[in-house]
């Protein structure tokens, strides 16, 4: 569902003026021009396809079926995982891929410290899974309230999304139009707010702003979370 070869350029795998990029772009252009219908996942991807490939498309955002979870089911789910009755649960669910940002969340976890009322859950796998798990294993972070987990089974998805009081999302600005995070579908279906690290002009940034369903926060300029809280706090 990502746009190639654009995501490869966004990650720095190939350069825009390289022969490889131009060849792959020509193939993508050829494919679009011969398609009866091109479907994109949001307005920024739709605009990118039009600008870079001269193709019109239908923007068809992803969606999720809204399923209610009872308070009893939510509490049981929390108890089984040791997330506590009183904690405010912040959840990141889905792919921890190259286009997502985690430094802002990890920095916030360090700054808030081990006695924060927030429990941080990072569910899923992906290219940056090891980054989060390495952060957890650092000696200075052993007592922080952060729990990395695997993907959630389909039968537990509704209660998992409902368990989170706040849902986290992110997208590095160079990836705008190349990829559209799908976490919003479950978050909106569960009626949970989304703090989003990314740009306001991205598809998810627009949807959050237009719906009032969260906050859009620009990425940090630094890229490494601190080992210990800053002196300001």
Same domain? 153 vs 86: yes
Residues 183, 116, 216: CA angle, nearest 5 degrees = 35
Residue 33 is assigned to a structural domain of this protein: yes
Domain assignment of residue 86, yes or no: yes
- Residues 135-144 have a mean pLDDT of 86
Domains of the chain: total: 2
Number of H helices, E strands in the chain: 9, 9
pTM as predicted: 0.85
Q: Looking at residue 121, what is its pLDDT?
A: 92
Percent above pLDDT 70 for the chain = 94
Q: Which residues pair with 91 in a beta bridge?
A: 121, 167
For the purposes of burial, counting CB atoms within 10 Å of the CB of 32, is it exposed (0-12), middle (13-18) or buried (19 or more)? middle
78/34 same-domain check: no
Q: How many residues can be counted in the chain?
A: 233
Average pLDDT over every residue of 97-123: 91
- Which is more confident, 220 or 230? 220
Instruction: Identify whether 212 is part of a domain.
Output: yes
Q: Six-digit token pair at 228?
A: 């210990």
- The verdict on residue 104 lying in a domain is yes
Do the Cβ atoms of 79 and 109 come closer than 8 Å?
Answer: no
Do 135 and 198 lie in one domain? The reply is yes
CA-CA distance, 167 to 93, in Å (whole number)?
8
Residues 100 and 78 occupy one common structural domain: yes
Identify which of 71, 70, 42, 37 has the alpha carbon closest to the alpha carbon of residue 55: 37
In a domain, 163, yes or no: yes
5 contacts 14 by C-beta, under 8 angstroms: yes
Is 175 a domain residue?
yes
Can you give the C-alpha Rg of the chain in angstroms?
19
The mean per-residue pLDDT over the stretch 101-117 comes to: 91
Pair 94, 54 in one domain = no
Residue 1 inside a domain? The answer is no
Q: Which of 208, 153, 164, 188 is nearest to 64 (CA)?
A: 188
The answer, yes or no, to whether the previous bond of 127 is cis (omega within 30 of 0) is: no
In a domain, 150, yes or no: yes
Structural domain including 187 reads: 71-217
- Residue 195 burial (CB count, 10 A): 18
Model pLDDT, residue 22: 92
Residues 176 and 138 reside in one and the same domain: yes
Mean pLDDT of 129-144: 86
C-alpha–C-alpha distance, residues 217 and 200, integer Å: 8
CA separation for the pair 190, 159 (Å, rounded):
9
Residues 17 and 83 in one domain: no
Average pLDDT of the residues of the chain: 87
């Amino acid at each position: 569902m990502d746009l190639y070869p654009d995501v490869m350029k966004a990650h720095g795998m190939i350069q825009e003026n390289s022969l490889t990029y131009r060849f792959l772009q020509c193939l993508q252009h050829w494919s679009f021009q011969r398609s009866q219908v091109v479907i994109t996942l949001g307005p920024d991807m739709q605009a990118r396809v039009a600008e870079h490939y001269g193709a019109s498309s239908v923007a068809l955002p992803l969606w999720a079926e809204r399923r209610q979870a009872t308070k009893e089911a939510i509490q049981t789910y929390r108890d089984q995982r040791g997330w506590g009755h009183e904690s405010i649960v912040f959840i990141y669910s889905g792919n921890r891929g190259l286009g997502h940002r985690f430094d802002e969340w990890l920095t916030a976890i360090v700054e808030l410290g081990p006695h924060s009322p927030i429990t941080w859950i990072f569910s899923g796998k992906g290219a940056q899974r090891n980054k989060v798990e390495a952060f957890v294993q650092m000696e200075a972070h052993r007592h922080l309230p952060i729990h990395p987990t695997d993907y959630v089974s389909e039968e537990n998805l509704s209660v998992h999304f409902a368990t989170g009081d706040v849902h986290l999302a992110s997208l590095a600005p160079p990836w705008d139009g190349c990829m559209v995070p799908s976490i919003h579908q479950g978050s909106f279906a569960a009626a949970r707010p989304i703090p989003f690290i990314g740009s306001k002009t991205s598809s998810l940034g627009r949807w959050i702003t237009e719906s009032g369903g969260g906050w859009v926060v620009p990425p940090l300029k630094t890229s490494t979370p601190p080992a210990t809280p800053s002196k300001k706090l």
